[in-house]
Structure 1
Amino acid sequence: MADVFKGLNLLETLKESIESNKLSDVKDAVEDLLISRINLAVVGDRGNEKATLINFLCGLSSGDEGAAPFPSPVAAEEMASYPNPKHPDFRLWDLPPVPSTSPFKPEEYMERVKFLRYNAVFMTFTQTPDPNSVAVFLEARSLQQQTVYFILLATTSDAEKSLEEKRKASLEVLRSQGVAQPKVYLVRPSTLEKFDFPGLLEDMGRDLPEIRAHALFLALPTLTSSLVTQKREAFKALVWGAASLSGGMSAIPVPFVASMVDSSVAVRILTKAQLSLCLDNESVERLARQRGKEPSVLKDLRTCALSVEVTKGEVKKRLAAAEKDLDTVSSKFVEMAMPRHARFASRSFTAMLQALSGAIDEMAADAEKIVAAALQEGK
């Protein structure tokens, strides 16, 4: 279990909060990760590629309930929102294209679409970016909004050579308008695991505030094995924070610690993990349809009972088993887990941490098998 504490800045942030007796910060971070509140806007022409991108970011296909339709029934100048059906606080916003009129005032467009309220914005196009879109990008940068990205959407008729030519032409447009070190991400909406989308996620992970980045990773469908790993790491931090509030901080004399995390909250965390890792029946069936696989083949890859169904009985059984195994947990592990003035961690903390971390590992392993089979990775 030592890997729980390696290379995860969010975990260090939580531990620092407890060192400072700021338990309310820990509680806020736990709730924030459970809710996964994030708003992502997609700017550009309302073509099939844009609708497909929005849908695949929500784990949906055309025709699914709640999917972005094509052609769009939304008026050209209006905005539309598409909440993720599994994570309703992750909302995709379909913003109208930036007008190509001249003269153009980027601040007026940004005010109309509430540009600065979104956690991140994708500026999409299928040929080269419009000069007015570049003006909006530069205005956003001047206002310190760094999470705006140019995305070249591949159409079904685009060959890789033509896409690279479009990317090169797009970079020239950006340079000519004063964008320093321009970057254009090449994305094929129906196969997000290919081309530049994984790299885009890595960049967003660095650019977004830490909690928002983890919220994004938890709400996205399991597009790649690396994203499964990012989800697992975020859940490990979530489990640590929840276990801390469960009574692990009893050595700190503050009244806030009366907030107990019991099996009901453990069920809530693991239910979130099942949905985030796309292990529920509906998500597995939808992935099978998208990739032309037999649903039963992917479902049979789930070997952890919690991957199939999260029940209070199974969670209580795991907590009880962890409680019995507490004598085998080394004191060094507890010291590593807890801040220096709370080393006498309660049995509640240690049992919760051990049981839920183990469950997250098992569920993530199932998700990796399903993603590999669906995408035929390694073949």
Structure 2
Amino acid sequence: MEVDVVSHSLNLLETLKESNENNKLSDVKDAVEDWPWQESGGPKKSAFINALRGLGPEDDGAALSPCPTPPGEMAIYPNPKHPDFRLWDLPPTPAASPFEPEGYMERVKFLRYNVVVMAFTQSLQANSVAVFLEARSMQRDTVYFSLLASEKDTEKGLEERRNASLELMKAQGVALPKVFLVRPSCLEKLDFPGLLEEMERDLPEIRAHALLLALPTLSPVLVTQKRDAFKALVWAAASLSGGVSAIPVPLVASMVDARVGVRILTKARASLCLDDESVERLAWQRRVDPARLKALRTCNLSVEVTKGEVNLRLAAAEKELTTNTTRLVEMAMPRHARSAGRSFTTMLQALNGAIDEMGVDEEKILAAAGIGEGK
């Protein structure tokens, strides 16, 4: 697992370095913006948008049903904890014929988005498949179909609707068609984890990184992925501490000290949904005592990230640097980076240890809330 983290960390560094050298810093900013979900389906659509933002229907800023946005217009839903991560509710493709997919795509600025999920609740529309094919002709692979399910839907009924949709896609020339079953009330079940995995494979690494960190903690597997993603970010920050690379790193200030640790761990705490508001919301959604879930946060940083606590961890790491950690750094880093000093390994050990502890806390909270893997 640690080898995977090192590899991911170096890839992240290389991506950022390339963006800097080619004067494409906008790539870094754009990586955390604009994720549209082209849907129809009233309450299920709103529930899906809210679930992706970790919100319930009664929360401030939650998507409403019916949507107050006039028909044909786009609604924008920022993530409350990650404001640069925005969900766009695109108008559904019209059912009328003739239909020109190019005109629809131009009107909704289809090609500007990182990912498009074309979701439906009953029957997939032929015009939506036409848009999908047009996007593929432009080498846009991050377009997916999702069948939204409610608690009342039976497994048999869902499979019948999915099979009918797959047949329609085949009839219109889609090779190897896929339709993901998604239940907005329980995103950890059915096909959403598989949809997320496919998105991560199809997206450029820095965009997949942004997507992962902005989503709520839907399952223990996602907690592990978030933990490893933050370890990659820690590696990048530690490289600055060691004087390895002077490149801009998202979420990280140019001067690496305890303040950088506070900033990274504050983001990690929010991404792992360990803040009071997130824990209370989860307790309400799962009908669990909020105090019980909060008591599971045994790491001080899960409760509150302070500069004092980060300084204590940095000081402890400085005293406890191990030969194994130093050897790992020497093996994993490029030759030009091996001159990194103790500051590199100090930050690496201190922040990685903190992220591991926070991840364990979130796993305990999910288990107590009855969230796990499975269909």
TM-score, structure 2 as length reference: 0.91
Structure 1 residue 340: deviation in Å?
Answer: 1.5
The 1-side partners of 2:134 and 2:158 are apart by 27
The 1-side partners of 2:274 and 2:28 are apart by 22
The 1-side partners of 2:258 and 2:112 are apart by 36
Cα distance per residue 1:35-60 (max 9 Å; x no partner): 97132111122500000000000000
Cα distance per residue 1:168-211 (max 9 Å; x no partner): 11111111111111000001111101100011011111011111
Distance 1:14 1:62, change over 3 A: closer
Structure 1 residue 6: deviation in Å?
Answer: 2.4
Question: Aligned runs of 1:25-174 on 2, under 5 Å?
Answer: 32=28, 37-174=32-169
Structure 2: which amino acid aligns with 1:242? A
The 1-side partners of 2:322 and 2:154 are apart by 60
| Aligned partners of 2:325 and 2:345 also within 8 Å | no
Question: Aligned runs of 1:157-196 on 2, under 5 Å?
Answer: 157-196=152-191
| Aligned partners of 1:171 and 1:182 also within 8 Å | yes
The 2-side partners of 1:255 and 1:122 are apart by 33
Structure 1: which amino acid aligns with 2:126? P
Q: Which moved more, 1:338-347 or 1:310-319?
A: 338-347
Distance 1:277 1:327, change over 3 A: closer
Q: Which residue of 1 aligns with 2:271?
A: 276
Q: Which residue of 2 aligns with 1:13?
A: 11
1:346 to 319, 325, 341: 341
| Aligned partners of 2:162 and 2:179 also within 8 Å | yes
Structure 2: which amino acid aligns with 1:282? E
Q: Which residue of 1 aligns with 2:363?
A: 368
| Aligned partners of 1:188 and 1:195 also within 8 Å | yes
Structure 1 residue 291: deviation in Å?
Answer: 1.2
Distance 1:36 1:299, change over 3 A: farther
Distance 1:158 1:255, change over 3 A: closer
Structure 2: which amino acid aligns with 1:175? K
- Equivalent position SS for 1:37: coil
Structure 2: which amino acid aligns with 1:121? V
Q: Which residue of 2 aligns with 1:226?
A: 221
Structure 1 residue 328: deviation in Å?
Answer: 5.0
Distance 1:149 1:255, change over 3 A: closer
**Root-mean-square deviation (Å):** 2.7
| Aligned partners of 1:42 and 1:95 also within 8 Å | yes
| Aligned partners of 1:10 and 1:211 also within 8 Å | no
Structure 1: which amino acid aligns with 2:310? V
Structure 1: which amino acid aligns with 2:3? F
Structure 1 residue 127: deviation in Å?
Answer: 1.3
TM-score, structure 1 as length reference: 0.91
| Aligned partners of 1:46 and 1:72 also within 8 Å | no
Structure 1 residue 326: deviation in Å?
Answer: 2.6
Unmatched runs of 5 consecutive residues or more in structure 2: none
Q: Which moved more, 1:345-354 or 1:76-85?
A: 345-354
Structure 1: which amino acid aligns with 2:2? V
Q: Which residue of 1 aligns with 2:260?
A: 265
| Aligned partners of 1:58 and 1:85 also within 8 Å | yes
Structure 1: which amino acid aligns with 2:302? S
Distance 1:267 1:331, change over 3 A: closer
The question of 1:306 aligning with 2:301 is answered: yes
The 2-side partners of 1:311 and 1:70 are apart by 40
The 2-side partners of 1:43 and 1:378 are apart by 27
Structure 2: which amino acid aligns with 1:93? W
| Aligned partners of 2:32 and 2:207 also within 8 Å | yes
Structure 1 residue 302: deviation in Å?
Answer: 0.8
Q: Which moved more, 1:57-66 or 1:44-53?
A: 44-53
Structure 1 residue 113: deviation in Å?
Answer: 0.8
The 2-side partners of 1:191 and 1:211 are apart by 27
Q: Which residue of 2 aligns with 1:200?
A: 195
Cα distance per residue 1:78-104 (max 9 Å; x no partner): 000000000101111111110111111
Structure 2: which amino acid aligns with 1:116? L
Length, aligned pairs only: 369
Structure 1 residue 298: deviation in Å?
Answer: 1.0
1:285 to 280, 284, 303: 280
- Equivalent position SS for 2:34: strand
Cα distance per residue 1:305-353 (max 9 Å; x no partner): 0000000100011011111223655542231243223323212111111
- Equivalent position SS for 1:108: helix
Distance 1:193 1:231, change over 3 A: same
The 2-side partners of 1:218 and 1:349 are apart by 24
The 1-side partners of 2:356 and 2:193 are apart by 22
Unmatched runs of 5 consecutive residues or more in structure 1: none
Cα distance per residue 1:189-243 (max 9 Å; x no partner): 1110110001101111101111111110100000011111110111011000000
- Equivalent position SS for 2:186: coil
The 2-side partners of 1:234 and 1:255 are apart by 18
